[in-house]
Amino acid sequence: MRILVTGGAGFVGSNLALALADESHDVTVLDDFSAGNFVNLVKFKGDVIGANCHTEPTGPFDIIFHQASITDTTVTDQHRMMVNNVEGFRQVLSWAAAWKARVVWASSAAVYGNMAPPMTETSTPHPLNVYGYSKMVMEHVARLWHKQTGLPCVGLRYFNVYGPGEQHKGKFASMIFQLAQQMKAGHRPRIFRDGTQKRDFVWIDDVVQANLKAAEISSGEVFNVGSGMAESFNAVVAALNVVMHTNYEPEFIDNPYHFFQNHTEANLERSMRVLGYAPRAGLMEGVREYYGSGSL
């Protein structure tokens, strides 16, 4: 099939583009390289278009995997966030309608805010920041578009994704990556006190798996993509100590963010039943594989 991956130089997008190319699909990446990194695509053999989602590539495409987005959750510029994420998405959907293409796109667990875990897709969203709000609006747009066109438009609510390909994100990379870099530099890992806050950390290969499975169904739904298991920041430090053969104690610091999610955990019942999604890696397995890849 002919496939377009927007945001294909980014973390999830590049891993997805490489996996699709390995399956011998005709893959085109669209990315303006404002947040992605060319290093992620050095091994990619498909076409790369250096532009944003307002520049229409030469279609048609059979599937669009829409990964392009501002993913920095600390951005407070509401206009910038909504124009980039929501209006960019509308543009992509207009292409999909013209091409009769199916769409798989990246939503986020940020739509849940601080609701009680485990988080279920049928819960009413309550985002804490404009990033989460933009994803919630994108979900409304996707449902309406699916209803109007009848074309598949599957949203995936990513939880805390980690793995090779995120190095370019710096302080916006996963906590697993950031803490590992501090420990490799000989420093105690700094985490918000008291380290008991929890996240659903999901291995990048499982996120790619979810995207591929989502491309096989014909709905307008959203699905959780996580490991289904919440782990504390203290547990992350412990796992890193095991694989890195270190013995660092955390250094606790105050949390400066008022929109902080204290506990995220995906309810995967619908994802497993409808998509056939089955996460392979828990925290220890993922950290071990990440470290063994040489990318951590």
Please report which confidence band the pLDDT of residue 56 belongs to, taking 50, 70 and 90 as the band edges: very high
pTM above 0.75, yes or no: yes
Give the pLDDT confidence score for residue 170 in this predicted structure: 86
| pLDDT tens digit sequence for 168-223 | 998 889 999 999 999 999 999 999 989 999 999 999 999 999 999 999 999 999 99
Give the pLDDT confidence score for residue 172 in this predicted structure: 87
Domains of the chain: 2-159+203-226+266-275 (3.40.50.720), 162-199+230-258+282-292 (3.90.25.10)
Of the candidates 212, 108, 117, the one whose C-alpha atom is nearest the C-alpha of residue 161 is: 108
| pLDDT tens digit sequence for 236-259 | 999 999 999 999 999 999 888 776
Catalytically annotated residues: 131, 169
Give the pLDDT confidence score for residue 257 in this predicted structure: 73
Q: What is the mean pLDDT of the chain?
A: 96
**35 pLDDT higher than 80:** yes
**55 pLDDT higher than 90:** yes
Give the pLDDT confidence score for residue 251 in this predicted structure: 96
Of the candidates 64, 73, 91, 82, the one whose C-alpha atom is nearest the C-alpha of residue 35 is: 73
Of the candidates 36, 32, 110, 96, the one whose C-alpha atom is nearest the C-alpha of residue 65 is: 96
Give the pLDDT confidence score for residue 258 in this predicted structure: 72
Two tokens, residue 155: 């949203």
Residues 6+ apart with CB under 8 A from 155: 104, 105, 106, 107, 138, 139, 142, 221, 222, 223
